[in-house]
Structure 1
Amino acid sequence: MVNLSADELADLHAEDAVYEFPLLTPGRPERYRNQAEIRQGFGAAWAAAPVRVEEIRSVVVHETTDPEVIVAEQQAFATITGTSRSFTLPFLLVMRVRDGRIVHVRDYADALRGAFELGRLAVVVDSLTASR
């Protein structure tokens, strides 16, 4: 994620992987339904994002009773492009891995904090208003 390579991220996933965003994430669909959508979706989102992820910090991996399921807490430390402003975005991933490939992800990111840091809270409000 630090180098924001959608190709590298997608290659970790199975062809029929599902990547979900259960929480409100303006500008993103609720889910990507396969490896190609993951590649295209993250590629477009990261290309449009005015941030550079400098580091992933505070990674904590929780084992579960299901050997295929991993829960990971982490924080992305990012800098807003063209400024010296930086911020930390916490998120939690629930992943199912089978045969060495990620087959399902639920990505719980703090999208409100991200929108605030980028000055895009109005986009969140517009998204909520439009969905009524």
Structure 2
Amino acid sequence: MNTSPETSRQVVERMLVAGRNSDVDTVVELMAPDGYIEWPYRPAGVPGRLAGRAQIREFLTRTAKGFIRFHEYRDVVIHETLDPEVTIVEYAAHGTVIPTGAPFEQVVIAVFRVREGHVVSYRDYLNPLPLAEARATLKG
């Protein structure tokens, strides 16, 4: 029986599926206990950093199904780096703005650091403009 931890790429692939499906339990399970998620570029109201499983779970539970539902990730490119812990992913997330039914598209570059089968850091470099525009339509 193979008990070696998954590769960084395998963990990231699972994280992408969980994120697309708003599967908070799997996202939290894949995070290291002291792991963090960061959004260096984000619209107002989105935290810059979530640290630890409890904070990640609380935020994702509150937001995962309420505003945008993702249907698919397109043009996914996974870059394995010389550092076996680091994987970079590029993709376009397609979905729907739930309150309005409007289509939603978000371009993302994410940098993951995976150690012993768990994500220790996840930097999500999303384009903040589509999210800000979708939020503005609710206020207008």
1:42 to 41, 60, 63: 60
**Does 1:25 find its partner at 2:46?**
no
**Does 1:99 find its partner at 2:109?**
no
Evaluate the alpha carbon distance shift between residue 36 and residue 54 of structure 1 in structure 2; reply closer, same or farther with a 3 A threshold. Answer: same
- In 2, distance between residues paired with 1:25 and 1:68? 29
Report the TM-score when normalising by structure 1: 0.81
Evaluate the alpha carbon distance shift between residue 25 and residue 115 of structure 1 in structure 2; reply closer, same or farther with a 3 A threshold. Answer: closer
For residues 14-93 of structure 1, what are the structure 2 equivalents within 5 Å? 14-49=32-67, 51-81=68-98, 83-93=100-110
Q: Which runs of 5+ in 2 are unaligned?
A: 1-18
- In 1, distance between residues paired with 2:64 and 2:137? 16
Paired amino acid for 2:126: A
Report the TM-score when normalising by structure 2: 0.77
Match of 1:9 in 2: 27
Count of equivalent residues: 121
1:76 deviation in Å? 1.0
- In 1, distance between residues paired with 2:26 and 2:44? 24
- In 2, distance between residues paired with 1:21 and 1:75? 16
Q: Which has the higher contact order (CA 8 A, sep 6+)?
A: 2
When structure 1 is superposed on structure 2, of 58-67 and 75-84 the one drifting more is 75-84
How large is the RMSD of aligned CA atoms in angstroms? 2.0
Q: Which runs of 5+ in 1 are unaligned?
A: 123-132
Give % identity. 35
When structure 1 is superposed on structure 2, of 110-119 and 51-60 the one drifting more is 110-119
- In 1, distance between residues paired with 2:84 and 2:30? 18
1:117 deviation in Å? 3.1
1:121 deviation in Å? 9.5
Match of 1:113 in 2: 130
